[in-house]
Amino acid sequence: METLVAAHRVMPFNTWLKVTNLVNNKSVNVRVIDRGPFVEGRILDLSKAAAREIDLLGPGIGQVRLEVIAAPPDIPANDFYAVQAGAFSVYANAERARDRYVERFGTAQIAVKQGAIPLWRVLVGKASSIDAAQQLAEQLRAEDKNVFVVRLDQTVPNAATPAAVSAPPPTVEQTLPR
């Protein structure tokens, strides 16, 4: 919450971004350490400290420009993407949804989003490009789903069971629209 970090759906972890508030032209450099936001039309979650630096703490959202200023040294050549097709506060509900998607699309998994209450995310497919994942997203969107393309990260373990998760203290994040 008090460090200069951000969440992005597809940027590799440890990517450094320059985020500029388009209203006041203030900028802050942040490191991508998490996945999100999972709200349509928003591209980045900033920590409280980063939002404070560019005067977005009060408004909570705003128009920004993103620039990659440093990529992580260990970007894998075999990136994979999936489509988040659901998020559940009850693990059993996530399991049922995952099983339905496995039947239809061959692969789906559960990943946990830590928070005050863990959120069990159902990720469908395993595409080697953003374009391929976007095609799957369009197919799911046709079923009136609120879906997002996300990067599958080697550093984020799949959620085996709810007992494997201990929730950290809650954090405050700022979400910024496109």
Domains of the chain, residue spans: 5-75+173-177, 80-164
* E-only strand ranges, 89-142: 108-113, 119-127
Look at residues 58, 49, 39 and name the one whose alpha carbon lies nearest to residue 19. 49
Dihedral (CA of 57, 147, 178, 9) sign: positive
- Say which CATH class 80-164 falls into: alpha beta
- Rounded to whole angstroms, the Cα distance separating 141 from 112 reads 22
Please report, in angstroms and rounded to a whole number, the separation of the first and last CA atoms in the chain.
Answer: 22
- Rounded to whole angstroms, the Cα distance separating 178 from 62 reads 8
pLDDT in tens, the chain (178 residues): 789 999 998 888 899 999 999 999 999 999 999 888 988 889 999 999 999 999 998 888 899 999 999 888 766 556 789 999 999 999 999 999 999 999 998 899 999 888 888 899 999 999 988 889 999 999 998 876 788 888 887 544 444 444 443 333 333 333 333 3
Helix (H, G, I), strand (E, B) or coil at 110: strand
Intrachain domains 5-75+173-177 and 80-164 with the same fold: no
In contact, 37 and 44? CB cutoff 8 Å: yes
Q: Can you list the alpha helix ranges (DSSP code H) found in 60-151?
A: 91-105, 130-141
- Rounded to whole angstroms, the Cα distance separating 118 from 95 reads 14
Which of 1.10.357.10, 2.40.40.10, 3.40.50.720, 3.40.50.620 is the CATH number of 5-75+173-177?
2.40.40.10
Question: What is the structure's pLDDT at 90?
Answer: 94
